[in-house]
Amino acid sequence: MKLNKLIDEKKLDNRIEELAYEIDKYYNGENIVAICVLNGAAFFATNLTLKMKTKMKLEFLKISSYQGKESTGIIKKYLDIDDEKVKNQNILIIEDIVDTGRSMSYLLEHLLKKNPKDIKVCSLLSKPSRREVDVKIDFLGFEVPDRFIIGYGFDDEEGFFRNIPYIGYR
């Protein structure tokens, strides 16, 4: 597959290192529950949390609104997190991309019902040109143009190519 390179491995690694530092500084010794949104954020969450010094528990959940290349606008929950793991905890959502904002808005509302102490959002990418629902991204890697992103956790419409070590588009 021919991809145009958008963000190379070195730039990714440097920015993730900076994000880890920013997050550590923000939490300043407090414990957190880091929640990786599967499947796309798996590579990002792994690399980010390995660079962080904050004491954390790592949990996973899975939601999706995509079918092929486009968001359907319908959010499906495939894997949830127990209420007790979130209640009175500092939550850091680790997401691959905030696109329309609908999925993140849904996720924030869903997790707020579980009574966390605090919720922050860390997203590797943001596509502000596609935003339909305003959501706050507390820790952001990069803003990207409206392109179909592939690599570093992002798959093609058939579910392949997540393991490309850089972020590309076609």
Q: Which of 107, 25, 105 is nearest to 59 (CA)?
A: 107
DSSP structure string for 35-62:
EEEETTTHHHHHHHHHH--S-EEEEEEE
pLDDT value at position 84? 85
Identity at 86, one-letter amino acid code: V
Q: Taking the model in full, what pTM does it have?
A: 0.90
Helix (H, G, I), strand (E, B) or coil at 21: helix
- Please give the C-alpha separations between residue 49 and each of 21, 68, 90, 103, 161, in angstroms, as whole numbers: 11, 29, 15, 22, 22
**What crossing angle do the helices spanning 9-27 and 42-51 adopt, rounded to 10°?**
60
Candidate list 96, 99, 146, 155, residue with the active-site label: 99
pLDDT value at position 72? 55
> pLDDT tens for residues 144-165?
999 999 999 999 988 899 999 9
> pLDDT tens for residues 26-40?
999 999 999 999 889
Q: Omega of the bond prior to 115 within 30 degrees of 0, cis? A: no
- By residue count, the chain amounts to 170
Q: How far apart are the first and last CA of the chain?
A: 9
Residue 136 in this model has a pLDDT that exceeds 90: yes
80 belongs to the catalytic site: no
Residue 70 in this model has a pLDDT that exceeds 60: no
| Contacts (Cβ under 8 Å, ≥6 apart) of 7 | 142, 144, 152, 166, 167
User: Burial code of 89-127, b = ≥16 C-beta within 10 A, e = fewer?
Assistant: bbbbbbbbbbbbbbbbbbbbebbeebebeebbbbbbbbb
160, exposed or middle or buried, with CB in 10 Å at 0-12, 13-18, 19+? exposed
Most confident of the ranges 41-50, 68-77, 99-108, 156-165: 41-50
